[in-house]
Amino acid sequence: MLSRWYSIFLGIILIIMGIAGLVAPRFVSGPGTTGTLVGTSIVWLITAVLALWFGFGVRNVRNVRWFAGIVGVIYLLWGIISMISAGRYAGLNAGGVLATTSGLEVLFGALGLAASLVPAYWLHEEGMFMPERA
């Protein structure tokens, strides 16, 4: 259940971030990084559509947990790499903003990993393995 809530939360937040990145890229990214943010915004919107589909449409809990784990790993790595490259190659103003979006990506990745690794039998989800009690 936690992975389903994560997928819905991620989808809503990434739709907002993706639309903001496409409508006002200078506001979101700062000067000089417009091209990279448009590509990033498109990736955010694709991820948001997938997350909402998994959150609302997929009924198999294992598939939703796998999605949360895979997206969590991808966003965690992407955020860490973005933080490192923003500090190394970008200017001070753009680097600060990129580090902020990178921080959000790291947060989304960590939440996705946490949501996918929570034992489902603690939450009494349907269709999951429940160990026998002695």
Q: Is residue 54 part of a domain?
A: yes
Q: Is residue 10 part of a domain?
A: yes
Q: Is residue 131 part of a domain?
A: no
Q: Is residue 79 part of a domain?
A: yes
Task: Share the mean pLDDT of the chain.
Answer: 78
pLDDT for position 99? 56
Domains contained in the chain, number:
1
Q: Is residue 132 part of a domain?
A: no
Q: Is residue 133 part of a domain?
A: no
Q: Is residue 91 part of a domain?
A: yes
Query: The domain containing residue 98 runs over which residues?
Result: 2-123
Q: Is residue 28 part of a domain?
A: yes
pLDDT in tens, 85-133: 766 555 544 545 555 778 888 899 999 999 998 866 555 555 555 555 5
pLDDT for position 26? 67
pTM of the model: 0.75
Binned at pLDDT 50, 70 and 90, residue 81 comes out as: confident
Beta strands in 7-130 (DSSP E): none
pLDDT in tens, 14-52: 999 889 888 877 666 554 555 567 888 899 999 999 999
Long-range contacts of 54-62 (CB under 8 A, 24+ apart): 54/4, 54/7, 55/4, 55/5, 55/6, 55/7, 55/8, 55/10, 55/11, 56/8, 60/127, 61/1, 61/3, 61/4, 61/120, 61/125, 61/126, 61/127, 61/128, 62/127, 62/128
